[in-house]
Homo-oligomer: A and B are copies of this chain.
Amino acid sequence: MPRKTPITYDHSLMWASRSSAGASDGERGALARSLEPVKTRLIEDWKSGRVGFFGIPELKDDLAAVRRTAADVARQFTDLIVVGIGGSDLGARALIRALGREGKGMRTHFIGANTDPEEIALLLDRIDLRKAAVNVISKSGDTIEPMSAFALLRDRLVRKVGRERHRRHVIATTDPKTGTLRQIADREGYRTLPVPRGIGGRFSALTTVGLFPAACASIDVAGLVAGAKEERDAFANTSAGASAPLLFAGLHHDAYLRRGQRISVLMPYADGLKEFGSWFRQLWAESLGKKRSRSGMVVNHGMTPVAALGATDQHSQLQLYNEGPVDKVVTFIEVDSFRKDFKVPNPYPDLEGVAYMAGHSFSEIIHAERAATAVALSRNGRPSGTIHIPKISPESVGGLMCFFMLATAAVAELLDIDAYDQPGVEDGKKAMYAMLGRKGYSL
């Protein structure tokens, strides 16, 4: 069945025949075969419900609740303040940067991903809280950055509109039954949206967590989920060796384990996907950076994600990528068709330094820049791959998110690590609790 929103992965320059530090062409069959048991295990994780993100397209009640609540909130308020950190922040940011358009939907502001008081002051100066809704997002309600910001915002709201009225301004996205934020929401009578079971923060962009802010920004959230479903189903219906996310995973695993290429650069050639890189960065780092294998062996695995932006970073990072240590795999995202375009005018036809640009469209130029960068890397022996999407749309962005969730889960299988925990975040939290005098914690 032809796909409505095909997401393809061109890995031709990932192989040693084209880029000398690439994967061995002779082992292409072996690499494909190594992906078959990975696919089998991922399908088991899906069907057994052990890994929740596979089931996102079936959470239809949540989607309906998101749309209903967003429509109601958008009628009452002009601004939405999203209060979250990590997975409760980066997904919505990526969606709104790619698909939100000024003048449509609510204006979105993000706070709670830091405890920088200067930033909070800037937000409070800028916003009229009477016209603002607050979406506080935390599964537990114990996380210090969003909960401290929320306590302050709530205090300001209560002062501005009164204790009673402030309840209408707040929407809490949290665990349906337990946790501190659930208790707060119940006590205050806030509207709530449920964080679905079994889906960790960094896999939650296409659940209530990311979809509610997106819907408030007038983004087609059903399209996002449909794109993810299409990508998931294509994965299920394609042989392991031909599956784009599995090949992406297999090639990165091979580069990491066999050739010490421990840095994964994601470089979309589109400003709209800049924050998508930040979302990917959490997914890849937290899922794959692990001290222990599933059997408890100390492995200290991890690939360091780097979020780059084409063509911009050609004038910042490309020198290093072309000439530095051969320790990176670069992946471009190419947007085949842009939603707007212009031709470069020709005001100075006699000046050769600029005349050569004239008459080309900006999209031609950005495509040529990506292709030229891939050629240069390849000539310097450095592997790169390119993910193509037809255009930036809800379906393609939802599909891309699903692509990277699948690829991340697959690399974790290949490394025999748990993609879904984050034990290494706890060490720092405990030390901080001790410093702030929280009961039961000491340095």
Tell me the A residues contacting B by CB distance below 8 Å. Answer: 85-87, 89-90, 102, 113-122, 125-126, 140-145, 147-148, 151-152, 154-155, 179-180, 183-184, 187, 201, 262-263, 269-272, 278, 281-282, 285-286, 288-291, 300-302, 304, 306, 309-312, 314-328, 338-342, 344-348, 351-354, 356-358, 360-366, 368-369, 371-373, 375-376, 379-380, 392, 422-425, 427-439, 443
Q: Which 3 residue pairs across A and B have the least CB separation, nearest first?
A: A302-B324, A289-B320, A86-B315
| CB–CB B180/A351 < 8 A | yes
| CB–CB B361/A117 < 8 A | yes
* Given A141-B353, A323-B290: A304 in contact with B306 (beta carbons within 8 A): yes
* Given A125-B102, A309-B114, A428-B375: A357 in contact with B154 (beta carbons within 8 A): no
| CB–CB A302/B320 < 8 A | yes
Instruction: Using CB atoms, name the residue of chain B closest to A285.
Output: B320
| CB–CB B424/A319 < 8 A | yes
A120: which B residues are within 8 A, CB to CB? 340, 342, 362
Give the CA-CA distance A412 to B429 in the complex, in Å. 37
Give the CA-CA distance A263 to B289 in the complex, in Å. 15
Give the CA-CA distance A262 to B320 in the complex, in Å. 12
A353: which B residues are within 8 A, CB to CB? 140-142, 147, 179-180
Contact of A154 among B289, B317, B319, B347 (CB under 8 A): B347
* Given A286-B319, A314-B425, A360-B436: A365 in contact with B325 (beta carbons within 8 A): no
Contact of A300 among B326, B346, B358 (CB under 8 A): B326
Most B CB within 10 A of own CB, among A117, A319, A379: A319
Give the CA-CA distance A364 to B436 in the complex, in Å. 8
| CB–CB B114/A271 < 8 A | yes
| CB–CB A376/B318 < 8 A | no
A140: which B residues are within 8 A, CB to CB? 353
| CB–CB A427/B121 < 8 A | no
A89: which B residues are within 8 A, CB to CB? 312, 315
* Given A151-B345, A431-B375: A324 in contact with B144 (beta carbons within 8 A): no
Instruction: Using CB atoms, name the residue of chain B closest to A146.
Output: B315
In angstroms, how far is the closest chain B Cβ from the Cβ of A264?
11
A432: which B residues are within 8 A, CB to CB? 368-369, 371-372
Contact of A368 among B282, B352, B354, B436 (CB under 8 A): B436
Instruction: Using CB atoms, name the residue of chain B closest to A375.
Output: B431
In angstroms, how far is the closest chain B Cβ from the Cβ of A251?
19
| CB–CB B325/A300 < 8 A | yes
In angstroms, how far is the closest chain B Cβ from the Cβ of A56?
21
| CB–CB A114/B311 < 8 A | yes
A357: which B residues are within 8 A, CB to CB? 144, 147-148, 151, 436
In angstroms, how far is the closest chain B Cβ from the Cβ of A130?
19
Give the CA-CA distance A423 to B358 in the complex, in Å. 26
Contact of A436 among B325, B351, B356, B434 (CB under 8 A): B356
In angstroms, how far is the closest chain B Cβ from the Cβ of A386?
15
A117: which B residues are within 8 A, CB to CB? 338, 340-342, 361-363, 366
| CB–CB B322/A114 < 8 A | no
A285: which B residues are within 8 A, CB to CB? 316-317, 319-320, 324
